[in-house]
Amino acid sequence: MDQRKDRRRTPRIDIGENEVVRLELRHQVQLLDISQSGALIGCETGLPVGTRGHIRAGLDAEPFSAEVVVQRHHVRSAVKGQVGLGTVFGTMDDRSQRTLEGFLQRAKD
């Protein structure tokens, strides 16, 4: 039997299977490609497909912010050592939607 003294100040409690825990991490990414539906980003850290995140960027000096979900890994990346992550946009506010539409339209012209 283990005779070590328990040093916890409070007892450990088992968490039920329906509980959700979020661990928020920040990663610097490189925006490689963007469309109306999603973005290809380069990241030094590989994230599993299905990972949810939030991207914030300046598109032509206009603020852009959207929720993203990693859909696939992509072999193309701008910098050696980066992982290409194909993401799809989730929710975004009206301002970000207008910023994205304007940016894509200017790039097309």
Is the domain spanning 29-108 CATH 2.40.10.220? The answer is yes
CA distance 98 to 49: 28
pLDDT per position as a tens digit, 17-65:
888 777 777 888 889 999 999 999 998 888 899 999 999 999 988 999 9
pLDDT band of residue 86 (cuts 50, 70, 90) is very high
Asked if pLDDT for residue 1 goes beyond 60, the answer is no
Report d(CA 67, CA 56) in Å as an integer.
9
Would you list the domain boundaries of the chain?
29-108
- C-alpha–C-alpha distance, residues 27 and 30, integer Å: 10
Confirm if 43 and 85 have CB atoms less than 8 A apart.
yes
pLDDT band, very low/low/confident/very high, at 69 (cuts 50, 70, 90): very high
Distances in Å between the Cα of 15 and the Cα atoms of 8, 11, 21, 23, 51 are 17, 13, 10, 16, 22
Residue percentage of the chain with pLDDT more than 70: 94
